[in-house]
Chains A and B, each alone.
Chain A
């Protein structure tokens, strides 16, 4: 047993309204620099959709994540032999076309343009060439299913659906979509860290945040390709890779990261998870069908004395252990089984979990008047008839397994019905309680899920222990001394090009 602590996250998709406030908060804090214009460490995607960069989930194209080969976990992208082949040219990088060409508008034309019959316009100009640009792609170009023939229909998760289901998903009467905000997952088994030839990426010991050491980064960009979530970006100005750093200066002082703090839907939760690092490799070798269980098996019970002892031996502080016992993430993931990691089949074991979004409430229309549903079955359509097929969610969150998705969906629907019986009263309590029982949930648990979902306070959503940076290993010794790495740091500020 080798217990470590990880600052982990839950995004409650049922509450996400797709407003992109998180993206803007992140952009303003971190990526409004030259060379970082195109980076969105936080972005919000519409599902079904191809996302950003286009079709990032399609690892046949991008070669991210891990695969099991000859009974061993291996990077899909590289290895000892493959690295030599690609040493002078890394052929699996997304191009600017897959992200988008960053642009701005020539605002000064509004003031300096010649007098004409029409209003002056600020034409869009590329931030790369400075020339006029006919914008045809952006980081959320497929927002709210826009450009559907090109984007939503090419969502890689649709491969799990039958042709009929695909048609149903995209016909106007039965359209369905939900939002998927994405940041770096700060994985327990990060492929970017494993792929870096310079040893520039590392997973911080005390909170598991994955960072790029800018002094050591040599711009190989293996991390960009190896990350199956495409959340490492290459800065074209400095020639170094950059990624979401989970606002660690804020986390260190017990504050929530900028995107968490600014979320208007309050969909984001942050808390400590304890996990057993000894089990990671064995868990990664399990077949796809067992990955969700294996991932949950990595997470250790913070009340187990053996876990606490091992954590203490690893230098996990009492504050962190206390936070782990109060962790909203542990509740959502382990206690309640509601939150699921995105694409477990990439085998990186993300520390970010999603509570899947419920489908729309059903209602009947009679003579142009919408009628309220009158029984449990009618509040939500049965899962078999859900507009968003379970196969789709299973492809996104379950490595193809529907069971964990159905469990979470059923429980949430039962709780919704239960609360409706309590507060509105148009559902019989007996039926609601029967629904809870079927969904493996007690009224007490339903109440606490309801509280943490709907009435949660700031302190309940973000249980972040202040970290003791003064005790961090870097203060006493240089951890890079023991690590094979390149580089001596900056003699001058890194800048590429002319």
Chain B
């Protein structure tokens, strides 16, 4: 029964399976069901056997960069006693579709957004059954008194921290696990020869947005693009050897003036036009002995 093996089922997959001849034992009446019903039914089947370990892994993957259970606030609220504070139905809706509630004028969501510096919970692509499992996991941890995650200690960064953070950001110092330096995708205050990378957002104002939770957000990033990039080479936190890469980088970002960088882009068109002119002059110089037509010159001479 392949459908059970997949924790989550792509609707396309079901539609593709449905008309297969000889599959009458498996999902006997599927092909006669309308699309939506088939989907919800399939999701219900797949949700039931989702094991607890999977919810724990999911929590670590998607939630822990911003939340703890019983260890205090990070970027977002401590999730201990979540079931007591809010109805599960609301939490599930928020987890699966944060933007819907945040932009939909939900009063609780609006209050939370204000409380946490306007940092929006990102779209994590969590399905309703996964949300159910996560809430169940949070309840279990609350009941057993298990603490998941830790709020980072608040320490005032010194000059040394900021210097190392800057080196890590620009790539002058390699990240311990060999991950790419921040500068490859991000810019901050126009640092670097060409003002930094343009692939990711400008991080100049990141501290203002994420507050003290920034280091935590770097440690286990919840941003889908960064997750992929740092999956095999996460930033290193090693208390014994005094290594704390996320903290250093956060310290550097915090040290930056929160103003956006000065506009430097005017240089580009100027350099471009001058370069083009120089290139054309060079090309003309190198090709000055080219064949400029023979017969038409003879005609012109007459």
Contact = CB atoms under 8 A, between A and B. Distances in A.
B33 interface: no
A91 B287 contact: yes
Interface in B274-302: 286-287, 289-291, 293-296, 298-299, 302
A61 interface: yes
Contact of A54 (B286, B287, B289, B295): B295
Contact of A94 (B289, B294, B299, B302): B294
Contacts, number: 43
Contacts of B298: 50, 54-55, 150-151, 154
B292 to A, nearest CB: 9
Contacts of A62: 291, 294
Contacts of B302: 149-150
A50 B299 CA distance: 13
Interface in A15-47: none
A97 B287 contact: no
A92 to B, nearest CB: 5
B291 to A, nearest CB: 5
Minimum-distance CB pairs A-B, first 8 = A91-B290, A54-B295, A92-B291, A91-B287, A54-B294, A55-B294, A85-B286, A98-B294
Contacts of B287: 85, 89, 91
Most chain A CB inside 10 Å of its own CB: which residue of B287, B289, B294, B299 = B294
Nearest to B292: A61
Interface of A: 50, 53-55, 58, 61-63, 85, 89, 91-95, 97-98, 137, 149-151, 154
Interface of B: 286-287, 289-291, 293-296, 298-299, 302
A85 B295 CA distance: 26
A137 B294 CA distance: 13
A94 B290 CA distance: 10
Given A95-B291, A149-B302, 4 more contacts: A50-B295, A54-B295, A94-B294, A98-B295
A97 B296 contact: yes
B119 to A, nearest CB: 51
A498 B104 CA distance: 55
28 contacts: A50-B295, A50-B298, A53-B294, A54-B294, A54-B298, A55-B295, A61-B291, A61-B294, A62-B291, A85-B287, A89-B287, A91-B287, A91-B291, A92-B290, A92-B291, A93-B291, A94-B291, A94-B294, A95-B293, A97-B293, A97-B294, A97-B295, A97-B296, A149-B302, A150-B299, A150-B302, A151-B298, A154-B298
A62 B295 CA distance: 12
A154 B301 CA distance: 11
Contacts of B289: 91
A91 B287 CA distance: 7
Contacts of A94: 291, 294
Contacts of B293: 95, 97-98
A128 B119 CA distance: 66
Contacts of A89: 287
A450 to B, nearest CB: 42
Nearest to B283: A89
A150 B294 CA distance: 11
A63 to B, nearest CB: 8
A263 to B, nearest CB: 29
Contacts of B296: 97
A231 B294 CA distance: 17
Contacts of A55: 294-295, 298
